[in-house]
Amino acid sequence: MHQRILLRARKGPFDVVTAEETYERDWIGKNSGNLVFSHAAHKLLSTSAAEITPSRFRTDPRDADEINEKYDVFVIPLANAFRHDYVNRLMSMTRLIERLKIPVVVLGVGAQTDVDGDREYLRPIDEPVKAFCRAVLDRSHSIGVRGEISESYLRTLGFSAVEQIGCPSMFLHGDSFRVEKAKATLGTEDRLAFVISPYVRALAPIVRHHHQRYPNLRYVAQGLYALGTLLYGDAPKLRGKTDDMPIHTSHPLFVEDKVRMFVDPWPWMEYLSGFDFAFGTRIHGTITALISGTPGYLLAHDSRTLELARYFDIPHRLMRDVPADVDAAQLYEEADYTALNEGHKERFARITAFLAKHDLGLSFADGDSATRFDTQVRQTVYPQAVRPASAYTAEELLARIQWLRDENQTLQQKLKALRVQPVRERVKQAVGGRIRRMLSR
């Protein structure tokens, strides 16, 4: 049976957008990690009977009638949506869902608090979260959450139809997933990917140590701010400033061309597959390494990262317990992937059962659907890594400047049209009113 799926995603897995366009229109939803789980969800659902359309993150309640008419189900992959600074968007999504008549399926939503699961911190968002869950459960059998902290939170709010299913990103390869160490120990010449959350200030001495000790270290960035810095340099108010964290072009990692960022998951995974080890505070940076076959290690600094590490048995430490002189070689040595590997099939069976309960197909159980998806990925030409501006040729930088000039000209034309339009409308209204008055005499 043909199934029309509206999938909450900023863009589809085969929508090719340049790095410049990605930055200007935020095609990553502030963080490229969003694409890892939304594109994995797209692959999981890509059966021969499915027609999948990305929502572009639109949550306008006025779209409800059109959605009800055009789609059979609304699938919502989410990350840490139960958090303070997301509450307005959550409420907007709730208002849309309340007007939908089709089923709504939530994949992998999570709460964000500290690593101890501080309940009091979440209390101010209780009511918006309750409203969201009620709206979803009126149109769904259950809500799929990331892990035990999020499940516990929703149960304290009175919801029992809650299932732990992790994050779709870890199921990109179905049930055939395995991570192994290629070598017994990590040497200073080995390739290291550091996945850094710039706002976790405790990372500063760890960044400094690893930059000095490992010449083949690369900082693999994910945030929209980092993308802008790579493309255009520091924002005006930040020019000339320095910091121990790699947030300015003056940082040694920028100066030495050791920063990379990707605007699609597929070249990102290909790049990480050539590394010996990946570590840091980014959960989807770590997961992207793991699904690339590269050993990864998470430094968990909040509940959203910790509960996924626990659910999937990803090697990890609490960031508060990580000493400033920790070395990647220590983390590599202690990393054990036995539980991650041995538990994967059961976890995959759990999300498969969740999808089946909600009448959603699975590409891995639909002939060669998953293989066809992978083939299309291989045939698609995606933008490659974005590097610091100093790494580009004069011709490449000129092309970027020309793109900005063309973009500015287009925006100026649109602005001019917006300024003229109200005048035209006022003239039409005035003329129309005068004609109506003349006819009424």
The fraction of the chain above a pLDDT of 90, given in percent, is 90
Two structure tokens written together for 110 = 């999570």
Q: Per-residue pLDDT for 70 more than 90?
A: yes
Two structure tokens written together for 423 = 């005048």
pLDDT for residue 347: 98
pLDDT for residue 135: 98
Mean per-residue pLDDT over the chain, rounded: 94
* Cα 298–chain centre separation: 17
pLDDT for residue 441: 39
- Kindly indicate the confidence band of residue 424, based on its pLDDT and cuts at 50, 70 and 90: low
Closest to 18 (Cα-Cα) out of 277, 376, 399 = 399
pLDDT for residue 417: 84
pLDDT, one tens digit per residue, over 194-242 is 999 999 999 999 999 999 999 999 999 999 999 999 999 998 888 888 9
Residues 6+ apart with CB under 8 A from 371: none
> What is the Cα–Cα distance from 29 to 9, expressed in whole angstroms?
9
Which of helix, strand or coil describes residue 441?
Answer: coil
End-to-end Cα separation, the chain, in angstroms: 63
Mean pLDDT of 347-360: 98
CA angle 107, 227, 81 (to 5 degrees): 25
Closest to 66 (Cα-Cα) out of 110, 142, 150, 6 = 6
- Kindly indicate the confidence band of residue 433, based on its pLDDT and cuts at 50, 70 and 90: low
Q: Per-residue pLDDT for 427 more than 70?
A: no
Q: Per-residue pLDDT for 426 more than 70?
A: no
pLDDT, one tens digit per residue, over 169-200 is 999 999 999 999 999 999 999 999 999 999 99
Mean pLDDT of 60-70: 97
> What is the Cα–Cα distance from 271 to 289, expressed in whole angstroms?
9
- Kindly indicate the confidence band of residue 421, based on its pLDDT and cuts at 50, 70 and 90: low
Two structure tokens written together for 159 = 């919801």
Closest to 217 (Cα-Cα) out of 174, 303, 279, 288 = 279
**Inter-residue contact 246 to 366 (CB < 8 Å):** no
Residues 6+ apart with CB under 8 A from 319: 115, 200, 202, 281, 299, 300, 301
Two structure tokens written together for 382 = 């995606």
- Kindly indicate the confidence band of residue 437, based on its pLDDT and cuts at 50, 70 and 90: very low
φ/ψ (deg, to 5) at 77:
-70, 130
**Inter-residue contact 237 to 278 (CB < 8 Å):** no
Higher pLDDT: 441 or 382? It is 382
> What is the Cα–Cα distance from 175 to 162, expressed in whole angstroms?
23
pLDDT for residue 237: 86
**For the purposes of burial, counting CB atoms within 10 Å of the CB of 86, is it exposed (0-12), middle (13-18) or buried (19 or more)?**
middle
Of the ranges 74-78, 117-121, 420-424, which one carries the lowest mean pLDDT score?
A: 420-424
> What is the Cα–Cα distance from 146 to 86, expressed in whole angstroms?
17
Q: Per-residue pLDDT for 428 more than 80?
A: no
pLDDT for residue 296: 98
Predicted TM-score (pTM) above 0.75: yes
- Kindly indicate the confidence band of residue 319, based on its pLDDT and cuts at 50, 70 and 90: very high
- What DSSP string describes 358-384? TT---GGGSTTHHHHHHHHHHHS----
Two structure tokens written together for 429 = 């209204």
Closest to 287 (Cα-Cα) out of 272, 302, 274 = 272
- Kindly indicate the confidence band of residue 418, based on its pLDDT and cuts at 50, 70 and 90: confident
- What value does the CA radius of gyration of the chain take, rounded to a whole number of Å? 24
Helix, strand counts (H, E) of the chain: 17, 12
pLDDT, one tens digit per residue, over 126-152 is 999 999 999 999 999 999 999 999 999
pLDDT for residue 349: 98
Mean pLDDT of 271-278: 98
Q: Where are the beta strands (DSSP E) in 55-180?
A: 73-77, 104-107, 143-145, 162-164
> What is the Cα–Cα distance from 392 to 396, expressed in whole angstroms?
6
> What is the Cα–Cα distance from 230 to 391, expressed in whole angstroms?
10
> What is the Cα–Cα distance from 422 to 102, expressed in whole angstroms?
39
User: Which pairs with CB-CB distance under 8 Å and at least 24 residues apart come from 121-126?
Assistant: 122/82, 122/153, 124/84, 125/82, 125/83, 125/84, 125/87, 125/90, 126/157
- Kindly indicate the confidence band of residue 256, based on its pLDDT and cuts at 50, 70 and 90: very high
Residues 6+ apart with CB under 8 A from 146: 79, 108, 109, 110, 164, 165, 166, 167, 304, 307, 308, 311
Taking the CA of residue 138 as centre, how many other CA atoms within 13 Å lie in the half-sphere pointing to its CB? Answer: 12
